[in-house]
Amino acid sequence: MGLVQQVLEVVKKRNPNEPEFLQAVTEVLESIRPAIQRHKKYRDGKILERLVEAERMIQFRVPWIDDKGQIQVNRGYRVQMNSALGPYKGGPDEQRARPLQGWLAFSPDGLGQHHQIPRIRTSF
Q: Average pLDDT per run of 10 along the chain, which is 124 residues long?
A: 91 92 92 91 89 88 93 88 65 53 55 45 48
Of 124, 38, 100, whose CA–CA distance to 4 is shortest? Answer: 38
The whole-angstrom separation of Cα 95 and Cα 98 is: 5
Give the per-residue pLDDT at 102: 59
| pLDDT attached to residue 93 | 47
Q: Is there a contact between 120 and 76 (Cβ–Cβ < 8 Å)? A: no
Given this model, what pLDDT does residue 99 score? Answer: 59
Residue 68's pLDDT is 94
| pLDDT (0 to 100) of residue 8 | 94
The pLDDT, as a whole number, for residue 30 is: 93
